[in-house]
Structure 1
């Protein structure tokens, strides 16, 4: 199964692809590590983001998407743009799971990755996207995805 982990922050979607075959994890090469949306008030910008993201999911044969859940209100609430991006991703036609940050941390503590992040050949800014993809795979493996 191939999962696309997504961290939404501001007008950016940072991604990491992670596939699992048996007990082996693989991070396939990907042409993009993030998508930027600079003018979220313009319909064309959101449509362009949706098209590009959906195309990436199709090209890399992604089965599911896991997104780090953001607060909807309060001091640490996500931006309006991040919620627009989330909706555009949810309309790509694949199952999308939102995972709370505390669930990701708990899963990483229970089942830590067998390799350091530095050895994965990912950019530092992709670490959270990798963690949500990895936590999702672990939850799915142990049937803890709701």
Structure 2
């Protein structure tokens, strides 16, 4: 099974691809596409380019599932509006299920469990944790 874990951070979607085989071995397949970014969310061409690039990544990987770390919609720590725009574009992908997992769920799970797969860069940690969590 192959999962893409996504953390939306400001104007970029950090994507990590993790698989698990029949022997419960986790493998990171992220490769060179580490994130997809949008610079100006008011520019229609950039929105279309983001949609095209993220969906091409999904088509290339052919994941069994896509998961996104959910963000707060209200309050002091509410996520930026542009992040919800990116989330909606990701959810438009029709070839597999897109689910959400809260950061609190991940934190609670990893207090008791070890992350079974490595990541390349520190900014990929949350997306890697998410993908491994979905594969458990």
Matched length: 134
3-state SS of the aligned residue for 1:134?
Answer: helix
Measure how far apart 1:29 and its partner are: 4.3
Measure how far apart 1:136 and its partner are: 1.5
**Structure 1 portions without partners, runs of 5+:** 139-146
**Structure 2 portions without partners, runs of 5+:** none
TM score, norm. by length of structure 2: 0.91
Q: Who is 1:35 aligned against? A: 36
3-state SS of the aligned residue for 2:87?
Answer: helix
Whole-Å Cα distance in 2 between the matches of residues 95 and 55 of structure 1? 16
Matched-pair contact (CA < 8 Å) for 1:5–1:15: yes
* Pairing 1:125–2:127 present: no
Please report the RMSD computed on the Cα atoms of aligned residues, expressed in angstroms: 1.4
Whole-Å Cα distance in 1 between the matches of residues 99 and 43 of structure 2? 26
3-state SS of the aligned residue for 1:102?
Answer: helix
TM score, norm. by length of structure 1: 0.85
Measure how far apart 1:15 and its partner are: 1.1
Matched-pair contact (CA < 8 Å) for 1:9–1:79: no
